């Protein structure tokens, strides 16, 4: 798995290798819950499947070591693609790189992460009951 996905305001692109780029062609949104009542909906994120992690572009004040809950979905009907727990491993608040947090997936079933990755690769039939 040497590829990653970038959500750019609801338009997803897939990158494999150094130069190969493919438009995935559907919006993916991320709902993130952290702390007691803190939530944020993120439309700009980078998902690196080879490292089982994600970078979320956000100004939210989330500390390293924080536990989070992530729900990836397709709007507007919010078809859920995957729900995962995670932990903040890095926070970038300076201007040298986009502001945000790096998360790693924790406490997840490998099959669930694989299903999510398969969907992002265009295997919609795994989730779409009508396909």
Tokens of 38: 């803190």
* CATH number where 118 lies: 2.40.10.220
- What does the alpha-carbon distance between residue 57 and residue 93 come to, in Å, rounded to a whole number? 10
User: Is residue 106 pLDDT above 80, yes or no?
Assistant: yes
Domain, as residue range, for 50: 3-126
More confident position, 33 or 3: 33
Quick one: DSSP state of residue 95? T
Tell me, yes or no, whether 96 lies in a domain: yes
The answer to whether position 117 is within a domain reads yes
The model's pTM: 0.69
Q: Is the pLDDT of residue 86 over 80?
A: yes
pLDDT at 81 over 90: no
Q: Is residue 131 part of a domain?
A: no
Judged on CB neighbours under 10 Å (0-12, 13-18, 19+), 118 is middle
The pLDDT, as a whole number, for residue 1 is 47
Domain count, the chain: 1
Q: Does 15 fall in a domain?
A: yes
Kindly state whether residue 103 falls inside one of the protein's structural domains.
Answer: yes
Mean pLDDT of the chain: 77
- Identify the residue with better confidence: 98 or 10: 98
| CA distances in angstroms from 25 to 34, 55, 75, 90, 111, listed in the order given | 29, 20, 13, 29, 24
Is residue 101 in a domain? yes
Q: What is the pLDDT of residues 26-70, one digit of tens each?
A: 667 788 888 777 787 776 677 776 677 888 888 788 889 999 998
């Amino acid at each position: 798995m040497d590829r990653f996905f970038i959500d750019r305001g609801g338009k997803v692109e897939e990158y494999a290798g150094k130069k190969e780029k493919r438009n995935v062609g559907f919006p993916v949104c991320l709902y993130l819950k952290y702390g007691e009542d803190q939530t944020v909906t993120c439309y700009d994120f980078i998902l690196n499947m080879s490292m089982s992690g994600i970078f979320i572009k956000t100004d939210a004040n989330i500390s390293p070591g924080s536990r989070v809950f992530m729900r990836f979905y397709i709007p507007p009907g919010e078809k859920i693609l995957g729900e995962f727990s995670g932990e903040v491993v890095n926070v970038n608040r300076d201007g040298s790189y986009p502001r945000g947090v790096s998360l790693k997936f924790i406490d997840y079933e490998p099959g669930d992460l694989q299903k999510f990755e398969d969907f992002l690769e265009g295997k919609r039939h795994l989730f779409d009951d009508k396909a």
